[in-house]
Chain A
């Protein structure tokens, strides 16, 4: 299966481990991710919170490039990228006038027919048995609190699952033999880009999530979003120090768990990039 791939700005930086692991796992599962040539900003945060037309146009340029590649589906690992592309696509498909206006700005003749799927959906779309067939290690000692964040399930136009209790990632992680805990903070806010401006808020939000994962007796959290990962991974040390009495919680990307289960090495899955120590847990399976 060939799918156009939008890497996004975090792919070489904070989300490098997500990128590496996602690509490896996709490759193993027969999903050929083809990077969009000359891709540009998806229109996240800075654009969409200030100028709607700019935000849609930025996303539309990339969508137009996908159409030019002759692909009908594009995916992104970063959930902010997914949400921007998907939302722009939904709006453009509905609003002919907006599409004309945007095409004038981008200089492309975009038809608004490209399907946008998150990488989570792409992998979850595979037959469960074909994933299971690739599993070589049992991840049963992982007691995972799956954390979806907000971007994959909101707004309702582009949600990939139930916004209050999504389970798409739960089911996928269970195929590795890992335990998935039922917990209350699957979609609670991580503070997102407030980590740049008001990190005290982020610390308090992150501490609640870590606390809830602790209460659910999880031993790690798994996310599908580079920003969630950064906030949970980096700020939890502040949270555990200031709020006290919390067990540290390694934060993984979901393809890292899949990849480890499929027999990839720690290095292949970029586990060493994680800030919170993952080695205790990982060494039990690798």
Chain B
């Protein structure tokens, strides 16, 4: 027989101003199993908590009901509180009579009091069925996996490795560096992007605690927080570790004129190549779809000229298993393919309509034009450059509803660079709003404005060629009239979208994405770098559009979380997870298909029946993976699955209490 104590909180006037708290306490005292009932002004305060501790001791309470605010706010407070008095912390049930009662029924105090009594009766009924639960200890592997070697992945890797943990980076491309190394100067300080990011790439490569796989992908993830087992697919590079990066192979390679992805197709590369001179590792790959040796079966030039015998045409994909305790997803972004969406800008038909990233490569001293801003069509220097913002962003009808956040600033930077590099040039920027929230951002925008960039508020409805020029037709909504600009070059600030294949990463690792495909954080404000899957974290644009400062800040935040996790040799596992009553389980495994965390596996058990032994299959819950969502308990036809702390018996007793 349980001996239950009920503690009703006034929460100052929050509850007490509406609900007749003493009346609730008097009623609660009459409920079955209740041996003590009390009320207090602030139950969460020190004297309030003391009151509970002494009542537990004095009245030998076996279960406690606290009627106050939402359990999300103070359940953990009161669990710790009753544990101090020697009770199992899970012998607590809360009744939310604030958010779900006094706050929403302010104008009906009598009905609110009645409802509060019913909510307490429900909690008491459940408290009568509570059972002690115990946290499990999960050992932690002190290593982290980072998926994506862009600036977010590199920053987090360095932070985690500096704290003394091993880090494994898996990068899809032949080099780490991501999008940041493509950029020229970065706003608002105009420091050279490559100059500040390539040293970080080198630091990561040289760090004794960091292991980097490039040209590799995560193939499979098994396990749970603290204990992940990850299979990495190392794609065949066709170049082995003898390589010194001397460059003889790509200098001699006869297959030329392959559009270089690193320059967005504005320059050419060979079939054996490093994407750019500062690539990390400085080791080429063979593009097997273009290489003559692979396409035609004969060539072998690179092998012949390689002084270290590093070329290996026979090399196959390799699969390596890495054990880690935490995973960070930092898979970055792509730009939306505007050529499939924006017919009014020519569907990509006009060579002089380019994206901001093309402009970055062009204006970059190590880019295809050596830093000169030139029209792709004829290589001439443009005099009038039009920038169009929000192409694909903030355009619900055609593409994405969200703001891509970085475009206002990089467009201001581009405008500044045009005005700086091309004397007598004219810049027109079409915008919806100018959003420059960030340290020194507004100042930068104003500087560009004062340099002469013409900001025109309105959208562009059409671009068409006329002679050597492009006619840009738009609206100036401040003047309320149509505008036409005769432009030489048009630069589109296209929307950021999750990088290709990021949905596969989410599926492989096992976490959710939002409606736009960005990785879903556990809480937008309070848990911004965690996913809903224990031990899996997020950083950078894969979580939502952001610029470099925000990406780096988020990467370090995620690193801090991971370092925190890896600082424990073991962690406590939540006890409120599903458990199987094997005697009742029929082995249908309907639960397995419904489990979003892949926590249910079949298990063979041996049963002794009179005169014989029977082997049969039952469901088994992996306590590390189970997040306690309860989906399986609903799917279970024989009723063999129960969620600890929310068992069928407990829930039904609550329903009974409410229906009295």
Which residue of the partner chain B has the closest CB to A188?
B462
A45 to B342, CA, bound (A): 29
Instruction: Identify the closest chain B residue to A185 (Cβ).
Output: B464
Cβ–Cβ contact B464 & A163, under 8 A: no
Contacts of A185 in B (CB 8 A): 464
Closest-CB distance, A208 to chain B (whole angstroms)? 9
- CB–CB A184/B343 < 8 A: no
The answer to the question of B110 belonging to the interface, with a C-beta cut-off of 8 Å to chain A, is: no
Which residues of A253-285 have CB atoms within 8 Å of chain B's CB atoms?
A: none
From residue 348 to 385 of chain B, which have CB atoms closer than 8 A to chain A?
Answer: 349
**Which residues of chain B in 444-495 are interfacial with respect to chain A, using CB atoms and an 8 Å cutoff?**
462, 464-467
When the two chains form their complex, are residues A164 and B343 in contact, meaning their CB atoms are under 8 A apart? Answer: yes
Is A215 touching B466 in the complex (CB atoms < 8 A)? Answer: yes
Cα distance, A215 to B464, chains bound together (Å): 12
* B343 touching A165, Cβ below 8 Å: yes
Cβ B466 vs Cβ A164 within 8 A: no
Q: A60-75, CB under 8 A of B: which get 1 and which 0?
A: 0000000000000000
Query: CA A7 – CA B350 in complex, angstroms?
Result: 40
| A100 interface contact, C-beta 8 A | no
- The reply on B344 being an interface residue by CB < 8 A is yes
CA distance in complex: A212, B465 (Å) = 9
B343 & A163 in contact (Cβ 8 Å cutoff): yes
B350 and chain A: residue at smallest CB distance: A184
Tell me the complex Cα distance, A185–B465, Å. Answer: 10
Which residues does chain A contribute within 8 Å of B462, judged by CB atoms?
188
B window 282-296: CB within 8 A of A: none
Residues of B within 8 A of A162 (CB): 343
A164 to B465, CA, bound (A): 15
Q: Which residue of B lies closest to A211 (CB)?
A: B466
B465 touching A165, Cβ below 8 Å = no
A contact residues around B134 at 8 Å (CB): none
Q: Could you tell me the distance in whole angstroms from the C-beta of B475 to the nearest C-beta in chain A?
A: 14
Q: In whole angstroms, how far apart are the Cα atoms of A162 and B341 in the complex?
A: 10
Most buried by B among A165, A184, A212, A215: A184
**Distance in Å from the Cβ of A160 to the closest Cβ of chain B?**
15
How many B residues touch A, CB cutoff 8 Å?
Answer: 10
Residues of B within 8 A of A184 (CB): 464-465
Closest approach, in angstroms, between the C-beta of A173 and any C-beta of chain B? 20
Mask of B514-540 contacts with A, CB within 8 angstroms, 1/0: 000000000000000000000000000
- The residue that B347 contacts in the complex, of A163, A164, A188, A212, with Cβ under 8 A, is A164
Task: Tell me, rounded to whole Å, the shortest Cβ–Cβ distance linking B586 to chain A.
Answer: 49
A84 to B466, CA, bound (A): 34
Q: Interface code A160-171, partner B: CB below 8 Å = 1, 0 otherwise?
A: 001111000000
Binary contact track B622-638/A, C-beta < 8 Å → 1, others 0: 00000000000000000
Q: Using Cβ atoms and an 8 Å threshold, which residues of chain B touch A182? A: 349
**In the bound complex, how far is the Cα of B467 from the Cα of A165, in angstroms?**
20
CA distance A163 to B347 in the complex (A): 12
A250 to B477, CA, bound (A): 37
Q: Are the C-beta atoms of B343 and A212 separated by less than 8 Å? A: no
B464, A164: Cβ atoms closer than 8 Å: no
0/1 interface trace, chain A 36-68, chain B, CB 8 Å (1 if under): 000000000000000000000000000000000
Q: In whole angstroms, how far apart are the Cα atoms of A242 and B462 in the complex?
A: 25
Could you tell me the distance in whole angstroms from the C-beta of B338 to the nearest C-beta in chain A? 12
Give the shortest distance, in Å, between B352 (CB) and chain A (any CB).
Answer: 14
Name the A residues within 8 Å of B347 (CB-CB): 164-165
The residue in chain A whose Cβ has the minimal distance to the Cβ of B471 is: A184
Distance from A232 Cβ to chain B, minimum over Cβ atoms (Å):
18
Q: Which residues of the other chain, A, contact B467 by a CB distance below 8 angstroms?
A: 215
Q: In the assembly, what is the distance between CA of A184 and CA of B466, in Å?
A: 9
Q: How far is the CB of B481 from chain A (nearest CB, A)?
A: 13
Neighbouring B residues of A164 by C-beta, 8 Å:
342-344, 347
Q: Mark A176-208, 1 if CB is under 8 A from B, else 0.
A: 000000101100100000000000000000000
The residues of A that contact B464 with a CB separation of less than 8 Å are 184-185, 212
**Which residues of B have CB within 8 Å of A212?**
464, 466
Residue of B nearest to A184 (CB): B464
Q: How far is the CB of A190 from chain B (nearest CB, A)?
A: 15
Tell me the complex Cα distance, A163–B462, Å: 12
Smallest Cβ distance from B644 to chain A, in angstroms?
Answer: 50
In the complex formed, the residue of B with least CB distance to A165 is: B343
Closest partner residue, chain A, to B464 (CB atom): A184
Expressed in whole angstroms, the minimum distance between the Cβ of B346 and any Cβ of chain A is 8
Residues of A within 8 A of B343 (CB): 162-165
Report Cα–Cα, A212/B467, bound state, in Å: 10
Residue in chain B with minimal CB distance to A163: B343
Complex formed: what's the CA distance from A88 to B548 in Å? 50
Q: Within A205-221, which residues are at the interface with B (CB < 8 Å)?
A: 212, 215
Q: Which residues of B contact A163 (CB under 8 A)?
A: 343
- What CA separation (Å) do A215 and B462 show in the bound complex? 17
Bound state CA distance, A212 and B466, in angstroms? 8
CB distance from A152 to the nearest CB of B (A): 15
Residues of B within 8 A of A165 (CB): 343, 347
Residue of B whose beta carbon sits closest to that of A182: B349
**A215 CA to B465 CA in the complex, in Å?**
10
Chain B nearest CB from A83 CB (Å) reads: 19
Please measure, in the bound complex, the distance between the C-alpha atom of A162 and the C-alpha atom of B343, giving whole angstroms: 8
Q: Which residues of B contact A215 (CB under 8 A)?
A: 466-467
Cα A35 to Cα B277 in complex, Å, equals 73
Complex CA gap A113/B201 in Å reads 64
What is the CA–CA distance of A176 and B625 in the complex, to the nearest angstrom?
66
- Neighbouring A residues of B342 by C-beta, 8 Å: 164
A185→B346 CA distance, assembly (Å): 11
Tell me the bound Cα distance from A188 to B343 in angstroms: 13
How far is the CB of A184 from the nearest CB of chain B, in Å? 3
* A127 and B342 alpha carbons, distance in the complex (Å): 30
Nearest residue (CB) in A for B466 is A215
Q: Which residues in chain B, 316-358, are within 8 Å of chain A measured between CB atoms?
A: 342-344, 347, 349
CA distance A188 to B461 in the complex (A): 11
A188 to B466, CA, bound (A): 15
Alpha-carbon distance A188/B484, docked complex (angstroms): 14
| Bound-state Cα–Cα, A188 to B467, Å | 18
A162, A164, A215 interface centre (most CB from chain B within 10 Å): A164
Complex Cα–Cα for A136 and B343 (A): 35
The distance in angstroms between the C-alpha atoms of A188 and B482, with both chains bound, is 14
A277 to chain B, nearest CB (A): 27
The chain B residue with its CB closest to the CB of A216 is B465
Q: Report Cα–Cα, A188/B462, bound state, in Å.
A: 9
State A185–B343 Cα separation when bound (angstroms): 12
Min C-beta distance of B356 to chain A, whole Å = 22
**A181 shortest CB reach to chain B, Å:** 13
Q: Which residues of B contact A188 (CB under 8 A)?
A: 462
Bound-complex Cα distance A163 to B464 (A): 15
Residues of A within 8 A of B344 (CB): 164
A184-B464, A215-B467 known; 12 new pairs, CB 8 Å cut-off, are: A163-B343, A164-B342, A164-B343, A164-B344, A165-B347, A182-B349, A184-B465, A185-B464, A188-B462, A212-B464, A212-B466, A215-B466
8 A-B interface contacts by CB (under 8 A): A164-B343, A164-B344, A164-B347, A165-B347, A182-B349, A184-B464, A212-B466, A215-B467
**Chain B residues in the interface with A (C-beta under 8 A):** 342-344, 347, 349, 462, 464-467
Q: Which residues of A contact B (CB under 8 A)?
A: 162-165, 182, 184-185, 188, 212, 215
Instruction: Pick the 3 closest A-B CB pairs, nearest first.
Output: A164-B343, A184-B464, A165-B343
